[in-house]
Amino acid sequence: MLRLLFLSTPVGPLGSGLGGGVELTLYNLAEEMQRRGHEVVVVAPSHSLLSGINLVKITGNLQIPAQTQTRDVPISLPENGVLANMWEYAHTVQTQYDLIVNFAFDWLPFYLTRFFSTPIAHFISMGSMSLALDHIMNQVAETHPGTIGVYTRSQAETFAFADTCEILSSAVDLSLYQFCAQPDNCLAWVGRIAPEKALEDGVAAAVATGIPLKIWGKIQDEDYWQSILSNYPGASLEYCGFLSTEALGASLGRCRALLMTPRWIEAFGNVAIEAMACGVPVISYARGGPTEIIRQGETGFLVPPDQVSGLVTAIESLDQIDRCNCRLQAEREYSLEALGDRFESWFDKIIKKD
Protein backbone atom coordinates (compact mmCIF):
# COMPACT_ATOMS: atom_id res chain seq x y z
CA MET A 1 0.00 0.00 0.00
CA LEU A 2 1.39 3.38 -1.04
CA ARG A 3 0.65 6.67 0.67
CA LEU A 4 0.26 9.16 -2.18
CA LEU A 5 -0.08 12.95 -2.02
CA PHE A 6 -1.37 14.46 -5.28
CA LEU A 7 -0.73 18.17 -5.88
CA SER A 8 -3.25 19.50 -8.38
CA THR A 9 -2.95 22.20 -11.02
CA PRO A 10 -2.91 25.74 -9.54
CA VAL A 11 -4.63 27.36 -12.56
CA GLY A 12 -8.14 26.54 -11.34
CA PRO A 13 -10.17 24.57 -8.80
CA LEU A 14 -10.80 20.91 -9.65
CA GLY A 15 -14.17 20.67 -11.40
CA SER A 16 -13.95 24.18 -12.86
CA GLY A 17 -12.61 23.09 -16.25
CA LEU A 18 -9.94 25.82 -16.12
CA GLY A 19 -7.26 23.15 -15.70
CA GLY A 20 -8.38 21.28 -18.83
CA GLY A 21 -7.82 17.56 -19.24
CA VAL A 22 -5.44 17.24 -16.31
CA GLU A 23 -8.43 17.61 -13.95
CA LEU A 24 -9.97 14.43 -15.35
CA THR A 25 -6.64 12.59 -15.46
CA LEU A 26 -5.97 13.41 -11.81
CA TYR A 27 -9.44 12.28 -10.78
CA ASN A 28 -9.25 9.03 -12.77
CA LEU A 29 -5.85 8.20 -11.34
CA ALA A 30 -6.87 9.05 -7.77
CA GLU A 31 -9.94 6.81 -8.10
CA GLU A 32 -8.00 3.91 -9.55
CA MET A 33 -5.18 4.14 -6.99
CA GLN A 34 -7.70 4.22 -4.18
CA ARG A 35 -9.55 1.24 -5.67
CA ARG A 36 -6.24 -0.66 -5.56
CA GLY A 37 -5.95 0.00 -1.85
CA HIS A 38 -3.49 2.88 -1.91
CA GLU A 39 -4.06 5.93 0.27
CA VAL A 40 -4.63 9.06 -1.81
CA VAL A 41 -4.90 12.65 -0.60
CA VAL A 42 -5.39 15.44 -3.15
CA VAL A 43 -4.23 19.01 -2.48
CA ALA A 44 -6.03 21.55 -4.69
CA PRO A 45 -7.14 25.20 -4.81
CA SER A 46 -10.16 26.16 -2.70
CA HIS A 47 -13.61 25.64 -4.29
CA SER A 48 -12.34 22.34 -5.77
CA LEU A 49 -14.87 19.52 -6.03
CA LEU A 50 -13.83 15.87 -5.88
CA SER A 51 -16.19 13.18 -4.73
CA GLY A 52 -15.02 10.16 -2.78
CA ILE A 53 -11.40 11.23 -2.39
CA ASN A 54 -9.73 13.01 0.51
CA LEU A 55 -9.26 16.61 -0.51
CA VAL A 56 -7.23 19.34 1.17
CA LYS A 57 -8.31 22.75 -0.11
CA ILE A 58 -5.76 25.55 -0.12
CA THR A 59 -6.53 29.25 -0.47
CA GLY A 60 -4.58 31.71 -2.57
CA ASN A 61 -4.58 33.40 -5.93
CA LEU A 62 -4.63 31.21 -9.02
CA GLN A 63 -1.62 30.79 -11.28
CA ILE A 64 -1.65 32.21 -14.84
CA PRO A 65 -1.83 29.31 -17.36
CA ALA A 66 1.45 28.83 -19.26
CA GLN A 67 -0.29 28.64 -22.64
CA THR A 68 -1.58 32.20 -22.34
CA GLN A 69 1.97 33.57 -22.08
CA THR A 70 4.89 33.89 -24.50
CA ARG A 71 7.77 31.41 -24.38
CA ASP A 72 10.37 33.87 -23.11
CA VAL A 73 8.30 35.41 -20.32
CA PRO A 74 9.99 35.26 -16.89
CA ILE A 75 8.40 33.07 -14.22
CA SER A 76 5.84 34.97 -12.19
CA LEU A 77 3.86 34.18 -9.07
CA PRO A 78 0.88 36.22 -7.89
CA GLU A 79 0.74 37.72 -4.41
CA ASN A 80 -0.39 34.99 -1.96
CA GLY A 81 -0.24 32.44 -4.79
CA VAL A 82 -2.07 29.14 -4.34
CA LEU A 83 0.80 27.26 -6.01
CA ALA A 84 3.30 28.32 -3.34
CA ASN A 85 0.71 27.72 -0.59
CA MET A 86 -0.02 24.20 -1.83
CA TRP A 87 3.67 23.31 -1.94
CA GLU A 88 4.27 24.81 1.49
CA TYR A 89 1.53 22.52 2.80
CA ALA A 90 3.12 19.54 0.99
CA HIS A 91 6.46 20.35 2.61
CA THR A 92 4.99 20.29 6.11
CA VAL A 93 3.26 16.89 5.64
CA GLN A 94 5.72 15.18 3.31
CA THR A 95 6.99 12.62 5.83
CA GLN A 96 3.47 11.11 6.03
CA TYR A 97 3.70 10.03 2.36
CA ASP A 98 5.76 7.65 0.22
CA LEU A 99 5.42 9.79 -2.88
CA ILE A 100 4.24 13.25 -3.92
CA VAL A 101 2.74 13.49 -7.40
CA ASN A 102 2.88 16.89 -9.06
CA PHE A 103 0.26 17.76 -11.69
CA ALA A 104 1.22 21.44 -12.00
CA PHE A 105 2.79 22.60 -15.24
CA ASP A 106 4.82 25.20 -13.36
CA TRP A 107 8.35 26.12 -12.45
CA LEU A 108 8.05 26.09 -8.66
CA PRO A 109 7.47 22.34 -8.00
CA PHE A 110 10.44 21.45 -10.22
CA TYR A 111 12.65 23.98 -8.46
CA LEU A 112 11.55 22.72 -5.02
CA THR A 113 12.22 19.06 -5.86
CA ARG A 114 15.76 19.05 -4.47
CA PHE A 115 14.58 20.49 -1.12
CA PHE A 116 12.06 17.70 -0.43
CA SER A 117 12.98 14.49 1.36
CA THR A 118 9.96 12.60 -0.03
CA PRO A 119 10.39 11.75 -3.73
CA ILE A 120 8.30 13.68 -6.27
CA ALA A 121 6.84 12.27 -9.50
CA HIS A 122 6.09 15.06 -11.98
CA PHE A 123 3.26 14.38 -14.41
CA ILE A 124 3.43 17.05 -17.10
CA SER A 125 0.27 17.72 -19.04
CA MET A 126 1.40 20.00 -21.87
CA GLY A 127 4.15 20.23 -24.45
CA SER A 128 6.98 22.77 -24.21
CA MET A 129 5.57 26.25 -23.50
CA SER A 130 8.15 28.26 -21.59
CA LEU A 131 11.93 28.55 -21.76
CA ALA A 132 12.33 28.97 -18.00
CA LEU A 133 10.11 25.98 -17.29
CA ASP A 134 11.91 23.84 -19.89
CA HIS A 135 15.20 24.74 -18.22
CA ILE A 136 14.19 23.63 -14.72
CA MET A 137 12.46 20.49 -16.02
CA ASN A 138 15.66 19.62 -17.87
CA GLN A 139 17.61 19.96 -14.62
CA VAL A 140 15.19 17.69 -12.76
CA ALA A 141 15.38 15.15 -15.61
CA GLU A 142 19.15 15.03 -14.97
CA THR A 143 19.25 15.17 -11.17
CA HIS A 144 16.20 12.95 -10.58
CA PRO A 145 16.12 10.60 -13.58
CA GLY A 146 12.87 8.82 -14.33
CA THR A 147 10.70 11.20 -12.30
CA ILE A 148 9.06 13.01 -15.25
CA GLY A 149 5.98 11.44 -16.83
CA VAL A 150 4.02 12.57 -19.89
CA TYR A 151 0.91 11.52 -21.80
CA THR A 152 2.42 10.78 -25.21
CA ARG A 153 5.63 10.42 -27.21
CA SER A 154 4.65 13.43 -29.38
CA GLN A 155 4.38 15.55 -26.25
CA ALA A 156 7.71 14.27 -24.87
CA GLU A 157 9.43 15.17 -28.14
CA THR A 158 8.76 18.87 -27.56
CA PHE A 159 11.33 18.65 -24.73
CA ALA A 160 15.12 18.09 -24.84
CA PHE A 161 14.73 15.34 -22.21
CA ALA A 162 12.22 13.36 -24.31
CA ASP A 163 14.04 10.05 -23.98
CA THR A 164 13.95 10.10 -20.20
CA CYS A 165 10.18 10.61 -19.99
CA GLU A 166 7.83 7.90 -18.83
CA ILE A 167 4.95 7.64 -21.35
CA LEU A 168 1.75 7.13 -19.37
CA SER A 169 -1.15 7.84 -21.78
CA SER A 170 -4.61 8.46 -20.28
CA ALA A 171 -7.87 6.71 -19.47
CA VAL A 172 -11.62 6.97 -19.10
CA ASP A 173 -14.00 5.42 -16.61
CA LEU A 174 -15.81 3.42 -19.29
CA SER A 175 -18.94 3.02 -17.16
CA LEU A 176 -19.63 6.76 -17.46
CA TYR A 177 -19.80 6.89 -21.26
CA GLN A 178 -22.84 5.57 -23.09
CA PHE A 179 -22.31 3.88 -26.43
CA CYS A 180 -24.65 5.15 -29.15
CA ALA A 181 -24.92 3.22 -32.43
CA GLN A 182 -27.35 5.57 -34.21
CA PRO A 183 -26.29 9.21 -33.84
CA ASP A 184 -28.27 12.30 -34.75
CA ASN A 185 -27.14 14.44 -37.66
CA CYS A 186 -24.77 16.65 -35.68
CA LEU A 187 -21.06 17.03 -35.01
CA ALA A 188 -19.30 17.65 -31.69
CA TRP A 189 -16.49 19.92 -30.61
CA VAL A 190 -15.38 19.54 -26.98
CA GLY A 191 -12.68 21.40 -25.08
CA ARG A 192 -11.52 24.59 -23.46
CA ILE A 193 -12.63 27.45 -25.68
CA ALA A 194 -9.26 29.12 -26.14
CA PRO A 195 -7.15 30.06 -29.21
CA GLU A 196 -4.81 27.03 -29.05
CA LYS A 197 -7.83 24.78 -29.68
CA ALA A 198 -8.91 26.63 -32.89
CA LEU A 199 -12.64 26.09 -32.51
CA GLU A 200 -13.10 28.42 -35.50
CA ASP A 201 -11.83 25.66 -37.81
CA GLY A 202 -14.38 23.21 -36.43
CA VAL A 203 -17.11 25.80 -36.99
CA ALA A 204 -15.89 26.44 -40.56
CA ALA A 205 -15.95 22.68 -41.32
CA ALA A 206 -19.44 22.29 -39.89
CA VAL A 207 -20.68 25.27 -41.92
CA ALA A 208 -19.11 23.83 -45.11
CA THR A 209 -20.86 20.48 -44.63
CA GLY A 210 -24.16 21.97 -43.48
CA ILE A 211 -24.18 19.74 -40.38
CA PRO A 212 -25.01 21.43 -37.03
CA LEU A 213 -22.18 21.63 -34.47
CA LYS A 214 -22.65 21.08 -30.76
CA ILE A 215 -19.99 22.66 -28.55
CA TRP A 216 -19.18 21.62 -24.98
CA GLY A 217 -16.50 23.15 -22.80
CA LYS A 218 -15.26 25.87 -20.52
CA ILE A 219 -15.17 29.30 -22.12
CA GLN A 220 -11.68 30.26 -21.03
CA ASP A 221 -11.32 33.21 -23.39
CA GLU A 222 -14.61 35.14 -23.71
CA ASP A 223 -13.31 37.59 -26.37
CA TYR A 224 -12.15 34.70 -28.52
CA TRP A 225 -15.56 32.99 -28.20
CA GLN A 226 -17.41 36.20 -29.09
CA SER A 227 -15.20 36.70 -32.14
CA ILE A 228 -16.13 33.22 -33.41
CA LEU A 229 -19.83 33.94 -32.93
CA SER A 230 -19.57 37.23 -34.80
CA ASN A 231 -17.49 35.74 -37.65
CA TYR A 232 -20.09 32.99 -38.26
CA PRO A 233 -23.43 34.72 -37.63
CA GLY A 234 -25.51 32.20 -39.62
CA ALA A 235 -23.77 29.03 -38.40
CA SER A 236 -25.83 26.25 -36.88
CA LEU A 237 -24.03 26.16 -33.53
CA GLU A 238 -25.32 25.04 -30.17
CA TYR A 239 -23.27 25.85 -27.06
CA CYS A 240 -24.20 23.14 -24.55
CA GLY A 241 -22.15 24.44 -21.60
CA PHE A 242 -19.47 22.83 -19.46
CA LEU A 243 -20.87 19.53 -18.20
CA SER A 244 -19.87 17.00 -15.57
CA THR A 245 -18.19 13.87 -16.92
CA GLU A 246 -21.41 11.87 -16.40
CA ALA A 247 -23.56 14.38 -18.28
CA LEU A 248 -21.02 14.69 -21.09
CA GLY A 249 -20.75 10.90 -21.33
CA ALA A 250 -24.54 10.67 -21.66
CA SER A 251 -24.79 13.29 -24.47
CA LEU A 252 -21.69 13.02 -26.62
CA GLY A 253 -22.65 9.66 -28.16
CA ARG A 254 -25.47 11.27 -30.14
CA CYS A 255 -22.96 13.06 -32.40
CA ARG A 256 -21.65 11.65 -35.68
CA ALA A 257 -18.05 12.67 -34.99
CA LEU A 258 -15.84 14.71 -32.69
CA LEU A 259 -13.79 17.41 -34.40
CA MET A 260 -10.39 18.20 -32.86
CA THR A 261 -8.60 21.20 -34.27
CA PRO A 262 -5.48 21.81 -32.15
CA ARG A 263 -3.30 24.70 -33.26
CA TRP A 264 -0.68 23.58 -30.71
CA ILE A 265 0.95 20.22 -30.11
CA GLU A 266 -1.87 18.64 -28.17
CA ALA A 267 -0.30 16.68 -25.29
CA PHE A 268 -3.02 14.04 -25.38
CA GLY A 269 -6.60 15.14 -25.86
CA ASN A 270 -8.76 13.42 -23.25
CA VAL A 271 -11.80 14.39 -25.29
CA ALA A 272 -10.68 11.98 -28.04
CA ILE A 273 -10.94 8.91 -25.83
CA GLU A 274 -14.13 10.17 -24.18
CA ALA A 275 -15.72 10.38 -27.64
CA MET A 276 -14.46 6.92 -28.59
CA ALA A 277 -15.91 5.50 -25.38
CA CYS A 278 -19.33 6.70 -26.64
CA GLY A 279 -18.72 5.17 -30.08
CA VAL A 280 -17.97 8.53 -31.66
CA PRO A 281 -15.22 8.62 -34.34
CA VAL A 282 -12.62 11.38 -33.97
CA ILE A 283 -11.53 13.65 -36.81
CA SER A 284 -8.40 15.56 -35.84
CA TYR A 285 -5.55 17.58 -37.22
CA ALA A 286 -2.54 15.26 -37.28
CA ARG A 287 -0.69 17.07 -34.51
CA GLY A 288 0.42 15.74 -31.11
CA GLY A 289 -1.54 13.24 -29.00
CA PRO A 290 -4.38 12.48 -31.45
CA THR A 291 -1.80 11.02 -33.91
CA GLU A 292 -1.09 8.31 -31.33
CA ILE A 293 -4.74 7.66 -30.53
CA ILE A 294 -6.77 7.67 -33.76
CA ARG A 295 -6.59 4.66 -36.10
CA GLN A 296 -6.91 6.05 -39.60
CA GLY A 297 -10.18 5.00 -41.22
CA GLU A 298 -11.01 2.68 -38.33
CA THR A 299 -11.73 4.90 -35.32
CA GLY A 300 -11.44 8.29 -37.01
CA PHE A 301 -9.38 10.34 -39.43
CA LEU A 302 -6.16 12.31 -39.07
CA VAL A 303 -6.03 15.19 -41.53
CA PRO A 304 -3.34 17.74 -42.46
CA PRO A 305 -3.11 20.41 -39.72
CA ASP A 306 -4.83 23.76 -40.22
CA GLN A 307 -6.71 22.69 -43.37
CA VAL A 308 -10.47 22.92 -42.98
CA SER A 309 -10.87 21.14 -46.35
CA GLY A 310 -9.33 18.01 -44.81
CA LEU A 311 -11.87 18.08 -41.98
CA VAL A 312 -14.66 18.41 -44.53
CA THR A 313 -13.46 15.43 -46.60
CA ALA A 314 -13.19 13.34 -43.44
CA ILE A 315 -16.72 14.29 -42.35
CA GLU A 316 -17.97 13.17 -45.76
CA SER A 317 -16.21 9.79 -45.25
CA LEU A 318 -17.72 9.03 -41.83
CA ASP A 319 -19.90 6.22 -43.19
CA GLN A 320 -16.73 4.11 -43.56
CA ILE A 321 -16.39 3.88 -39.78
CA ASP A 322 -18.00 1.22 -37.61
CA ARG A 323 -18.75 2.99 -34.32
CA CYS A 324 -18.27 -0.27 -32.40
CA ASN A 325 -14.55 -0.07 -33.22
CA CYS A 326 -14.33 3.26 -31.40
CA ARG A 327 -15.82 1.86 -28.19
CA LEU A 328 -13.64 -1.25 -28.52
CA GLN A 329 -10.44 0.79 -28.80
CA ALA A 330 -11.41 2.77 -25.70
CA GLU A 331 -12.07 -0.46 -23.80
CA ARG A 332 -8.84 -2.14 -24.89
CA GLU A 333 -6.39 0.75 -24.54
CA TYR A 334 -7.87 3.36 -22.24
CA SER A 335 -9.37 1.58 -19.24
CA LEU A 336 -8.69 2.78 -15.69
CA GLU A 337 -7.05 -0.59 -14.96
CA ALA A 338 -4.50 -0.07 -17.74
CA LEU A 339 -3.82 3.46 -16.48
CA GLY A 340 -3.38 2.16 -12.94
CA ASP A 341 -0.87 -0.48 -14.06
CA ARG A 342 1.27 2.07 -15.88
CA PHE A 343 1.28 4.62 -13.05
CA GLU A 344 1.77 2.02 -10.33
CA SER A 345 4.88 0.62 -11.96
CA TRP A 346 6.23 4.15 -12.55
CA PHE A 347 5.61 5.08 -8.90
CA ASP A 348 7.28 1.86 -7.71
CA LYS A 349 10.41 2.58 -9.76
CA ILE A 350 10.69 6.11 -8.33
CA ILE A 351 10.19 4.99 -4.73
CA LYS A 352 12.69 2.11 -5.04
CA LYS A 353 15.34 4.38 -6.53
CA ASP A 354 14.99 6.93 -3.74
Count other C-beta atoms under 10 Å from residue 251's C-beta.
17
243 binds ligand UDP (CB under 6 A): yes
Q: What DSSP element (H or E) covers 347?
A: helix 336-353
Selected binder of ligand UDP within 192, 256, 287, 327 (CB under 6 A): 192
Comparing CB distances to ligand UDP, the nearer of 248 and 314 is 248
Evaluated on CA atoms 317, 320, 323, 328, the torsion sign reads negative
Comparing CB distances to ligand UDP, the nearer of 140 and 278 is 278
Instruction: Report the C-alpha gap between 245 and 8 in whole angstroms.
Output: 18
Selected binder of ligand UDP within 8, 154, 169, 245 (CB under 6 A): 245
Selected binder of ligand UDP within 180, 204, 206, 248 (CB under 6 A): 248
Q: How far is the CB of 352 from ligand UDP (least distance, A)?
A: 30
> Site mask, ligand UDP, residues 261-290, x = CB under 6 A?
-------xxxx--x----------------
Q: How far is the CB of 32 from ligand UDP (least distance, A)?
A: 16
Q: How far is the CB of 126 from ligand UDP (least distance, A)?
A: 7
> Beta partners for 120?
100
Backbone φ and ψ for 79, nearest 5 degrees, come out as -60, 135
Q: How far is the CB of 190 from ligand UDP (least distance, A)?
A: 5
Which residues have CB under 8 Å from 100's CB, separation 6+?
Answer: 4, 5, 6, 7, 90, 94, 116, 118, 119, 120, 121
Give the count of alpha carbons within 13 A of 156, CB side only.
19
Which amino acid type is present at position 263? Answer: R
CB-CB contact of 260 with 284 (8 Å): yes
Q: How far is the CB of 316 from ligand UDP (least distance, A)?
A: 25
Q: How far is the CB of 351 from ligand UDP (least distance, A)?
A: 27
Return the axis-axis angle of helices 270-277 and 21-35, rounded to nearest 10°: 60
Comparing CB distances to ligand UDP, the nearer of 91 and 153 is 153
191 binds ligand UDP (CB under 6 A): yes
> Site mask, ligand UDP, residues 8-27, x = CB under 6 A?
---------x--xxx-x---
Burial of 51 (0-12, 13-18, 19+ CB in 10 A): exposed
Which residue ranges make up the site for ligand UDP (CB under 6 A)? 17, 20-22, 24, 190-192, 216-217, 242-243, 245, 248, 268-271, 274
